[in-house]
Structure 1
Amino acid sequence: MSPAAKTRVVIADDHALVREGLRKVLELDDTVELAGEAANADEVMARLAQGGVDLLLLDLLMPGCNDVDLIQRIHAAHAGLPVLVLTMHADPHIARRALEAGAGGYLTKDISTELLIDAVHHVAAGRSYVDPSLSAALIRQEPKAPEPLESLSPRERQVLVALVRGQSLVDIAAALQVAPNTVSTYKTRLMDKLDQASLSDLVRYAVRHGIVD
């Protein structure tokens, strides 16, 4: 990208109103150009495959996106693409995981317009940018024992997200193209790993750890 070129940004968020608001914010900066939008993980990957993107502004939680898994997929397929996470979760542990997965920046959705635009330019230029409200916490954060979530396989994490979003075992099985009994086995296994006794406990655990909104 030449110095005079605009920064081409793709907005990825499953809420249309949020995308509209972000679009209006970015339009305030004449050095930024909207290069597309995406409402789920598949749309993100499809748009990135077309090229012509300088930065992805990414909501951490969308359909088809489990925690930081999508960042890892993006980093594997488009290693040089700057990713700026914009999320509701002001959790330094989640922020660290996102940055370790390959994100160049991490912001919460209560930031100002000025901070968002500043972060877009920083991350697009290859520099890191972390929400000021989280910076000190990240520096202070001591190494922790591995979280139970980290023991889940990608498929177990996928089943977890589907369950806490209210999908039935039959629906999940159809989406994953496996037998319902297989999904039931995944459910039992992940509940055991996460030490949760019921589906309601599982939902509360998932919300508490930023797996779903």
Structure 2
Amino acid sequence: MLEPTRLLLVDDHAVVREGYRRLLETRAELRIVGEAATARDALDAFRRLAPDVLVLDLGLPDMGGVELIRRLLQREPGARILVFTMHREPLFATQALRAGAQGYVTKSSPPEVLVQAVLQVAAGRPFISPDLAPELALALVDRPRAPLADLAPREFEILRLLLEGLDPEEIGRRLSLSAKTVRNCHYQIKSKLGVRSDIELTRLAMAHGLV
């Protein structure tokens, strides 16, 4: 008999975690081995538990999910990560997949889609939820490339925190960076996007669904 696929759930809302824990545990081939509410707890839990698949929400209270994906794969290159999030914008999916996630499912998907996605990612196959796949394909192929899509995952994460109104010191604490590094990255982001001020930066982010 095959061993069940071991899952680690990462979401900062306990009620949400409980909901999809119950869903996933209805399948005999799946077993929840741990939960985490923050990125730092997730890194520690992954090291201790070595799950087969990490099911991850992008909206975490310390560092964001995209940065967590990047750091986790630096430590564990073979980690299999499925993003399960409310964000339907192709930009978030693009950044998560570029950082190394193998799957991306929106929380508006039917429950069976999450189960299917977990099984596919556990088997080493990529998975994009059907409600997002056509839009993501258009964003990647048929439309002009969005400027924000050119940002590296860490730049994207810093921009997201800047747009939340955090100062460089707080962003540095969350991402374990110096405030100087954050300020330099802030300048590089504006330069890469071709904007001269934070007002222009915010307008660009709003136009592409990041705000």
TM-score, normalised relative to structure 2? 0.76
1:142 aligns with 2:141: yes
The 3 A distance-change label for structure 1 pair 109 and 197 is same
1:75 aligns with 2:73: yes
**Number of matched pairs:** 207
The superposition leaves residues 16-68 of structure 1 with CA deviations (integer Å, 9 ceiling, x where unpaired) of 22111111111211221111111121111111111431100011221333462
Equivalent-residue separation in structure 2 for 1:46 and 1:111 (angstroms)? 29
1:86 aligns with 2:84: yes
Alignment RMSD (CA, Å): 3.3
The 3 A distance-change label for structure 1 pair 103 and 151 is closer
Q: Spell out the pairing of 1:1-213 with structure 2 (5 A cutoff).
A: 4-66=2-64, 68-140=66-138, 141-142=140-141, 144-145=144-145, 147-148=147-148, 150-151=150-151, 154=154, 160-167=159-166, 171=170, 195=195, 197=197
CA contact (8 A) 2:70 2:99 kept: yes
Offset, 1:6: 0.8
User: What letter corresponds to residue 39 of structure 1 in structure 2?
Assistant: A
SS at match of 2:131: helix
Identity of aligned residues (%): 35
CA contact (8 A) 1:35 1:52 kept: no
User: What letter corresponds to residue 20 of structure 1 in structure 2?
Assistant: E
CA contact (8 A) 1:12 1:56 kept: yes
The 3 A distance-change label for structure 1 pair 114 and 197 is same
Equivalent-residue separation in structure 1 for 2:16 and 2:203 (angstroms)? 25
> What runs of 5+ residues in structure 1 fail to find an aligned partner?
none
The 3 A distance-change label for structure 1 pair 205 and 88 is farther
Offset, 1:153: 8.6
CA contact (8 A) 2:66 2:153 kept: no
